[in-house]
Structure 1
Amino acid sequence: MGKPDGKRAAPGKKVGVKYIGKLQKDGKIFDSNVGRAPFKFRLGVGQVIKGWEVGINGMRIGDKRRITIPPSMGYADKRVGTIPPNAWLVFDVELVDVDR
């Protein structure tokens, strides 16, 4: 768990995360930024899939969370790269930064 007084991810704030994304069906990793710069985006403005918007909201810097995302909050019936249509996704995320 993050620092109790740490900055909290909230809609409108720019956040930075480290993550590993896997398919729930077989555990195959389809994306990861471990060993690279954090992925940064503004929470609550549609820059990422809905499952991330909901799952990362409220985290504090240093928090780690496993987010399981149904197709309706991921990529639905679309194929995206190696992610098949209607896939359940599992992301292990760590919140590493929160800006204004």
Structure 2
Amino acid sequence: MDSGEVIDSSADKGHLKFRLVEGQVQETWKVGIDGMQVGGKRRLTVPPWVSTKEGRGENIPPNSWLVFEVELVKVR
């Protein structure tokens, strides 16, 4: 059942900065963000069988679908 509960949101915390290289972000993020252009928006939906393989935070319940709303604001 989809509770729609928001576990964490960075909407009020500023931008998330990271390098799109091995060990810096999960594979689903690398695949989902690859090819985006600045200003682009995507929804990354990660099923439980993938998120379990990649590891997850302590606060995420088992068998949870993870949904990320991503907007690419800058590339260096």
Q: Scaled by the length of structure 2, what TM-score is found? A: 0.79
Q: What is the aligned residue count?
A: 75
4, 9, 12: which is aligned to 1:32?
Answer: 9
Deviation sequence 1:8-43 (CA, Å, 0-9, x none): xxxxxxxxxxxxxxxx82211111111222111111
Q: Deviations over 1:41-76 (max 9, x none)?
A: 1113221222111111111111111111123432x0
Q: 5+ unaligned residues in a row in structure 2: which ranges? A: none
Give me the identity figure in percent: 49
46, 52, 59: which one aligns with 2:29: 52
Give the aligned partner of residue 87 of structure 1: 64
| Structure 1 segments (4+ residues) deviating >6 Å | none
More strand by share: 1
Q: Name the TM-score, length of structure 1 as normaliser.
A: 0.63
Structure having the larger proportion of residues in helix = 2
Aligned residues: CA RMSD: 2.1
User: Which has the bigger relative contact order, CA under 8 A and spacing at least 6?
Assistant: 1
